[in-house]
Amino acid sequence: MLTDIVKWKNYKDLDETLKKELDSFTEEDYYEAFYTDLAFGTGGMRGILGPGTNRMNIYTMRRANYGYGQYILQTKKANPSVVIAYDCRHNSRLFAEESARVLATMGIKVLLFDKITPTPELSFAVRELKATGGIVITASHNPPNYNGYKIYDDFGCQLVPDLADIVIDEIAKAPDAFQIDVESFASLKQKGYIEIVDDSIDTAYLNKVKSIRVHPDLNKENFLVVFTPLHGTSSLLGQRLLQETGYSCIPVVEQMVADPNFSTVSSPNPENKEAFDLAITYAKKHHADICIATDPDADRMGIAVYHQGNYVLLTGNQTGAILIQYLAKYRTLKKKGVLFNTIVTSPLGAAIARKYHLDVISTLTGFKYIGEQAKLLENTEREFFFGYEESYGYVVSDFVRDKDSLQALLLCSEVACYYKNQGKTLVDVLEEIYQEYGYYHDHLINITLTGASGAQKIEEILNYFHNEKQSNFQGLKIVAKEDYLLQQRFENNQTTKLALPKANVIKYFLDDGSWFVLRPSGTEPKMKVYISVVTNSRHDSILRSKEIEQKVMELINHIKGE
């Protein structure tokens, strides 16, 4: 650590902004910024902006891009190229240009978007432009002091572990960040190694999004959408998409502005009800039927639905269930359809899918795994039906191999309008689903533990559960345990092999059909606990969920020493 600090302080060409910040550091600041290298996971990296090896800056970006560039060159494809997009965050354009410089200096052609661009459009553009890979600079819905870097393969899918491991190995072998030479952006552009992506990709992408409609000629006369991009990248395309498909749309004007500080919200995350406060104010004023919010890089989407005088925020699991039922009822498939979810997604969507004779495949958390499975369906007797995660990520058609809030925006508008014409709100539809399939209550607990000490506590908590051998604890009757790090399922004193890749995740199944999962966040300093319950009544489901939460949190707090 000390060696790295000295290197940074003595580097004569250090970026002036980073130098000033470094000079103001306290001893604790130095430790947090240099105690480790910023982790490069299976989808890229994400971290706090600033100087240091554990921070997002142009120098950590150089090493990451050098490693990714080596991966691209190892594909041995003729004329390798990479598409690069970026969001509205602090330094996103700078990091995009820095990425372009590193790759182009290595002889890889770069196709760079010239404006903020939704992550799903980047995924689409990789295949549309026949590129070898893709990069998007984003930290999704993290706080304003974060930024991140996600990398894609030639099918527009984030790198799965075996491919990401190649990049990680190459980063480990990369020269010191201060020794990676890069040519100027202007000279590389002049030589043709950097090319700007024109607006035709926007139109091509939106045309594909429009193709997901089931009832394109729906009567939309008395239906109104309030839309907010939460200061993010769908500000340009979201409103355009709704207008071009015939929907009346009221934009939340204050949040249509690309703002890296997300000034009008405490958190730019559509999972949080507070993110809808301004949109709901607009909705009440204009008597809108639905509010739709997308996160800053436009891969996640949340909705608030007008119902009996109030605006009700639906969860990702609830929205997914409604969309699955609508598609299963009304969309025609050419082949046997496959629904994709994850091991922490509510079982409700899968129950609906199976009723309509669809296959269901559950993956690890992370849309890259859904994208990987979608690719495997090509040229088979089955076809992609729908993919989703509980964390507000959906894809209807796999021309995008990532979460796509623009597809979800259009489909949710259609579904809400369709049922309004029948005199129903989406809350009414959800109630009908519960009456048929049971009352599912799915709950997520976020345990925030920041810094080096927080990372250690998360490791201690997960290690306890990995090593825990009891069949019952805290009064919860465990019937099975799945440990994805060991890739084993334990049930009735027998051990079976799990087929999914290794992951630091533990899932417990209880005797009443409930389950809970523990896993670290891959993008934030958090540990997540997922709880899923189904009973014959809403009251009983909520009660049981609270009971499980109380018992699990008592144990976690004990491990934390609280």
**Pair (521, 384) in one structural domain:** no
Please name the residues in contact with 344: beta carbons below 8 A apart, sequence gap of 6 or more.
Answer: 365, 389, 390, 517, 519, 528, 530
What pLDDT sits at residue 40? 79
The DSSP code for 530 is: E
Structure tokens belonging to residue 92: 């996103």
81, 92, 140, 405: the catalytic one is 140
Q: Which of 560, 556, 552 is nearest to 532 (CA)?
A: 552
Q: What is the CATH number of the domain that holds 371?
A: 3.40.120.10
**Pair (292, 412) in one structural domain:** yes
Between CA 416 and CA 419 the distance in angstroms is: 5
Please name the residues in contact with 213: beta carbons below 8 A apart, sequence gap of 6 or more.
Answer: 245, 410, 411, 414
What pLDDT sits at residue 42? 60
**Pair (427, 443) in one structural domain:** no
Q: Is residue 478 part of a domain?
A: yes
**Pair (58, 176) in one structural domain:** yes
Q: Is residue 172 part of a domain?
A: yes
Please state, for a pLDDT cut of 90, what percent of the chain lies above it: 91
What pLDDT sits at residue 522? 76
Domain range for residue 457?
Answer: 439-560
Q: Is residue 1 part of a domain?
A: no
Q: Is residue 13 part of a domain?
A: no
Q: Which of 437, 471, 489 is the last residue of a domain?
A: 437
What pLDDT sits at residue 275? 97
Residue-averaged pLDDT of the chain: 95
Structural element, H or E, at residue 338: strand 336-342
382: three-class secondary structure by DSSP: strand
- pLDDT tens digits for 51-82? 999 999 999 999 999 999 999 999 999 999 99
User: How many domains does one find in the chain?
Assistant: 3
- pLDDT tens digits for 412-445? 999 999 999 999 999 999 999 999 999 999 999 9
**Pair (151, 184) in one structural domain:** yes
Q: Which of 402, 437, 472 is the last residue of a domain?
A: 437
Q: Is residue 7 part of a domain?
A: no
Q: Is residue 252 part of a domain?
A: no
Between CA 56 and CA 95 the distance in angstroms is: 9
**Pair (482, 535) in one structural domain:** yes
Q: Which of 380, 412, 437 is the last residue of a domain?
A: 437
Q: Are 409 and 227 in contact (CB under 8 A)?
A: yes
Structural element, H or E, at residue 477: strand 476-483
What pLDDT sits at residue 525? 81
Q: Is residue 419 part of a domain?
A: yes
**Pair (275, 406) in one structural domain:** yes
**Pair (179, 278) in one structural domain:** no
**Pair (429, 309) in one structural domain:** yes
Amino acid at 110: V
Between CA 458 and CA 449 the distance in angstroms is: 7
- pLDDT tens digits for 450-492? 888 888 999 999 999 999 877 777 788 999 999 999 999 999 8
**Pair (365, 220) in one structural domain:** yes
- Residue 43 pLDDT level (bands cut at 50, 70, 90): low
**Pair (433, 466) in one structural domain:** no
| Sign for the pseudo-dihedral over CA of 256, 262, 266, 267 | positive
The DSSP code for 255 is: G
**Pair (369, 452) in one structural domain:** no
Q: Is residue 3 part of a domain?
A: no
**Section 92-121 average pLDDT:** 98
Q: What is the CATH number of the domain that holds 449?
A: 3.30.310.50
Does the annotation count 532 as an active-site position? no
Q: Which of 488, 467, 489 is nearest to 479 (CA)?
A: 489
Structure tokens belonging to residue 31: 């430790």
Q: Are 448 and 323 in contact (CB under 8 A)?
A: no
pTM to 2 decimal places: 0.95
Partner residues linked to 250 by β-bridges? 226
Between CA 535 and CA 430 the distance in angstroms is: 15
